[in-house]
């Protein structure tokens, strides 16, 4: 009903304006020619306005999905990602070098994140684990299995290809660790196999963590402040300011 009133109002305004034009100029032929010219361009106007509105709506929808996606990713790191990254980083052979490049600070800019990402892509990390370390990683991941399964039910999250790769690599590591009942006396070939699975998880996880930290730095400084204090690279993180 309200829409009909709007259309009727616009029609009345158009008629009034044409009448004003007629009384001021008094030339019906020029008014008719102007009307036909405007009518000829009407489809072009409609196409232009439609494309503009469609682009605006598409961008709005993209921003909504992106905000929801980052929110879910944030929950992942709170529940699983930060702890898992801390545990795996402790098992990296060159941990001191790793900490040097991933010790995110409040003063970091876009170039700092790019340098850290470049380091991760170029550095081939290796792991050294004990039976107890492998048991601890397994126990933690098994305790979070239900949460991880729930993430797979989020359709918007599955559209994020790189994060989906992270989830699959974590699930595979859980299955590999859970399939083994004894971590003592393992042959070196089996240990190397598990290290390869950990390396895959660490690669995806560390990259997504850096991108998430950059997102917090840009859009949510109050969340970023806490994330910096709880950096998984810190041995004894302290939330106190």
Question: Rounded to 5 degrees, what angle do the CA atoms 104, 157, 176 make?
Answer: 80
Please return the burial class of 209, using the count of CB atoms within 10 Å of its CB with bins 0-12, 13-18 and 19+.
Answer: buried
The pLDDT assigned to 160 comes to 73
For the chain, 241 residues long, the average pLDDT of each consecutive 10-residue run is 64 66 61 62 68 73 71 90 94 90 92 94 90 94 91 74 90 94 91 95 95 92 92 82 70
- Token pair recorded at residue 165: 């790769």
Residues 31, 22 contacting (CB under 8 angstroms):
yes
241 token code pair: 């300011």
Rounded Cα gap, residues 239 and 41, in angstroms: 63
* pLDDT tens for each residue of 26-50: 566 666 666 665 666 567 666 767 7
SS3 of 63, please? helix
Measured between alpha carbons, how far is 227 from 103 in angstroms, rounded to an integer? 11
Query: In angstroms, rounded to a whole number, what is the distance separating the alpha carbons of residues 215 and 112?
Result: 13
Residue 230: Cβ within 10 Å count: 15
pLDDT of residue 14: 67
Residue 54's pLDDT is what?
75
**Model pLDDT, residue 17:** 64
pLDDT (0 to 100) of residue 238: 75
Q: Are 170 and 138 in contact (CB under 8 A)?
A: no
- Whether residue 163 contacts residue 208, with contact meaning beta carbons closer than 8 Å, is answered with yes
Containing H/E element for 15? helix 2-25
């Amino acid at each position: 009903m309200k829409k009909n009133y709007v259309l009727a109002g616009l029609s009345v305004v158009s008629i009034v304006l044409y009448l004003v034009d007629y009384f001021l100029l008094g030339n019906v032929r020029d008014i008719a020619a102007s009307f036909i010219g405007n009518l000829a361009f009407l489809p072009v106007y409609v196409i232009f306005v439609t494309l503009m509105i469609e682009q605006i709506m598409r961008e709005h929808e993209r921003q909504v999905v992106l905000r929801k996606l980052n929110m879910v990713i944030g929950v992942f790191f709170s529940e699983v990602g930060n702890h898992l990254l801390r545990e795996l980083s402790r098992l990296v052979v060159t941990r001191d070098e790793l900490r040097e490049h991933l010790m995110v600070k409040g003063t970091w800019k876009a170039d700092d994140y790019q340098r850290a990402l470049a380091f991760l892509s170029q550095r081939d990390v290796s792991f050294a684990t004990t039976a107890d370390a492998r048991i601890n990683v397994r126990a933690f991941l098994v305790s979070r299995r239900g949460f991880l399964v729930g993430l797979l039910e989020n359709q918007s999250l599955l559209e994020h290809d790189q994060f989906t790769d992270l989830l699959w690599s974590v699930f595979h590591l859980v299955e590999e660790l859970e399939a083994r009942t004894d971590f003592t006396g393992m042959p070196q070939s089996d240990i190397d196999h598990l290290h390869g699975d950990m390396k895959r998880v660490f690669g995806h996880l560390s990259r997504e963590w850096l991108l998430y930290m950059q997102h917090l730095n840009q859009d949510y400084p109050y969340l970023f402040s806490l994330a910096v204090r709880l950096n998984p690279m810190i041995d004894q993180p302290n939330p106190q300011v």
